[in-house]
């Protein structure tokens, strides 16, 4: 996997190139040797998390005041891309933590930031965002979890599922969405709450076994009359869905970065294998049918990179980036699935073996077409934008 740094837009700074080099070295030395074991055990990578935090990756785009790195979003995209090139599940630990950090950073009070944001930026804890429920995924407004207020405390009852980063030994805040009433137009009023690990009535259910993202731990969560003080409401009452939808566009850029990592990793592993494996007395790299597969991967990786970096640069510039985020997420995740599929094909029988990174990336790529809005949901958003 010691491949040259991939093609990059000419306008990237030397600082971005330095970050890429540092993350690449870290991922190849500190993650690659343990990936297969983590996949096998479906285990959270505690040591890697701590080291990534020490290097400043976990809090990179967040304010220094709260323990972040004051970096730009483009740098964070590069971090996730390089981590996912080696192990997409490990990269998702940072990605999911970042979604919580964004909500706390944008809507939290100084007290909430000090108590809940700081430890997930400096790596002492890891955060989860819990929106999805057994009967509410794409249709996120159809939540059944409820929260009632008695003047002093909020009491939450309901369940969540598919929650990344939940159930770890360093579990930090879980930001959950719950129905808190009915709007004048009859729709559900949804609010966000910060639930600390160990809150009474809050429990972790089954660990979910998956075909991809196996080292990204996923659980069901239960709230049985879970009572939290009034100051655990995040932002305004009734603003929950608006907060989550605003944050999810950033999440789409970050999931796109994970997909770009898989695209680049599939390309790098395929070209390396084609150079060494022989059939019919020739290196695989001499067969045009396989050359075309890696040519497509290289084309798609470059296009995905331009789309994602553009979306991140728009966000960094404070310009609207929501449609670009959906375009980039849709393109990158579907092309990553295709590249992962072709990388397995190029590796032949060996490509199906769990010890091969291309086999593990195949499952990881599928998850990316589903989370942070499925491909169908991205197409709905894009169609709405182009038909407006």
Based on the shown chain and the rule CB under 6 A, indicate whether residue 313 belongs to the binding site for ligand FAD.
no
Number of residues engaging ligand FAD in binding (CB under 6 A): 21
Based on the shown chain and the rule CB under 6 A, indicate whether residue 367 belongs to the binding site for ligand FAD.
yes
Based on the shown chain and the rule CB under 6 A, indicate whether residue 162 belongs to the binding site for ligand FAD.
yes
DSSP 29: I
| 133 included as an active-site residue | no
Residue 152, classed as helix, strand or coil, is coil
Determine the distance from the C-alpha atom of residue 382 to the mean position of all C-alpha atoms in its chain, rounded to a whole number.
21
Phi, psi of 123 (to 5 degrees): 90, 5
Based on the shown chain and the rule CB under 6 A, indicate whether residue 100 belongs to the binding site for ligand FAD.
no
DSSP 348: G
Least CB distance to ligand FAD at residue 382 (A): 13
Residue 144, classed as helix, strand or coil, is coil
Q: Which of residues 278-297 bind ligand FAD (CB under 6 A)?
A: none
Which one of 48, 95, 100, 131 is in contact with ligand FAD (CB under 6 A)?
131
Cα separation, 80 vs 169, in Å, equals 23
Name the H helices within 317-368. 322-346, 357-368
Which one of 138, 142, 182, 299 is in contact with ligand FAD (CB under 6 A)?
138
Based on the shown chain and the rule CB under 6 A, indicate whether residue 382 belongs to the binding site for ligand FAD.
no
Task: Residue count of the chain, please give it.
Answer: 388
Reading the block at residue 325, the tokens are 């985020």
Which one of 210, 269, 305, 347 is in contact with ligand FAD (CB under 6 A)?
210
Q: What is the CA radius of gyration of the chain?
A: 21
Which one of 44, 57, 107, 213 is in contact with ligand FAD (CB under 6 A)?
213
Reading the block at residue 232, the tokens are 């655990």
Based on the shown chain and the rule CB under 6 A, indicate whether residue 347 belongs to the binding site for ligand FAD.
no
CB-wise, 92 or 356, nearer to ligand FAD? Answer: 92
Which one of 148, 204, 291, 374 is in contact with ligand FAD (CB under 6 A)?
374
Cα separation, 228 vs 122, in Å, equals 25
Which residues of the chain form contacts with ligand FAD (CB under 6 A)?
96, 128-132, 137-139, 162-164, 210, 213, 218, 367, 370-371, 374, 376-377
């Amino acid at each position: 996997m010691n491949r040259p740094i991939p093609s990059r837009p000419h306008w990237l700074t030397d600082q971005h190139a330095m970050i890429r080099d540092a993350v690449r070295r870290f991922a190849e030395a500190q993650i690659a040797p343990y990936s297969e074991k983590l996949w096998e055990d479906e285990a959270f990578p505690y040591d890697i998390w701590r080291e990534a935090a020490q290097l400043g990756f976990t809090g990179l785009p967040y304010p220094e005041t709260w323990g972040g790195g004051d970096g730009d979003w483009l740098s964070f995209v590069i971090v996730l891309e390089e981590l996912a090139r080696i192990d997409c599940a490990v990269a998702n630990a940072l990605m999911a933590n970042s979604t919580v950090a964004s909500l706390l950073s944008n809507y939290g009070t100084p007290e909430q930031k000090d108590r809940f944001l700081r430890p997930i930026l400096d790596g002492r804890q890891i955060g989860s965002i819990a929106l999805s429920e057994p009967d509410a995924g794409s249709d996120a407004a159809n939540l059944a979890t409820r929260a009632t207020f008695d003047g002093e405390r909020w009491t939450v009852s309901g369940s969540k599922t598919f929650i990344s980063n939940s159930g770890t030994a360093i579990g930090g805040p879980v930001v959950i969405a719950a129905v808190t009433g009915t709007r004048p137009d009859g729709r559900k009023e949804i609010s966000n709450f910060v639930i600390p690990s160990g809150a009474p009535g809050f429990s972790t259910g089954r660990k979910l076994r998956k075909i991809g993202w196996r080292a990204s731990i996923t659980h069901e969560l239960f709230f049985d009359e879970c009572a939290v003080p009034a100051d655990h409401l995040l932002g305004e009452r009734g603003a929950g869905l608006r907060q989550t939808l605003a944050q999810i566009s950033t999440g789409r850029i970050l999931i796109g970065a994970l997909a770009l990592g898989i695209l680049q990793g599939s390309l790098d592993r395929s070209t390396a294998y084609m150079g060494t494996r022989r059939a019919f007395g020739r290196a695989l790299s001499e067969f045009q049918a396989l050359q075309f597969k890696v040519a497509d991967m290289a084309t798609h990786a470059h296009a995905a990179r331009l789309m994602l970096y553009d979306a991140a640069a728009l966000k960094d510039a404070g310009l609207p980036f929501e449609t670009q985020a959906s375009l980039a997420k849709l393109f990158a995740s579907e092309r990553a699935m295709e590249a992962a599929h072709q990388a397995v094909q190029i590796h032949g029988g060996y490509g199906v073996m769990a010890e091969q990174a291309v086999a593990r990336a195949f499952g990881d790529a599928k998850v990316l077409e589903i989370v942070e809005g499925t491909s169908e949901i991205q197409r709905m958003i894009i169609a709405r934008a182009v038909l407006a």
